[in-house]
Amino acid sequence: MLYWLPRLCVLVLAAVVVGLGFFPQTSEGVAFTLLMILVGLGLLSVTLHIFPPEKH
């Protein structure tokens, strides 16, 4: 469960941003926001792969 918790939090945060209308209006802004979400999830995955929470 600990492995999926940060990913769920990021997805909830993204849903709140979209739901409250903070999403950018231009296609470039939308692409940049989605790219930052994907990069954040990728970095989180790499970090959890290198430093698994079960071993520390």
Domain spans, the chain: 5-51
**Please, is 16 exposed, middle or buried when counting C-beta atoms within 10 Å of its C-beta (0-12, 13-18, 19+)?**
exposed
Alpha-helical (H) ranges within 1-56 are: 5-19, 27-50
pLDDT of residue 23: 65
- Helix, strand, coil percentages for the chain (3-state, nearest 5): 75, 0, 25
Place of tokens 């940060």: 6
Output the tens digit of pLDDT for each of the chain's 56 residues: 566 777 787 788 778 877 777 666 788 887 887 888 888 888 888 887 888 777 65
Q: Model's pTM, two decimal places?
A: 0.54
For residue 40, the model assigns a pLDDT of 82
Q: Which two tokens stand for residue 7?
A: 């990913």
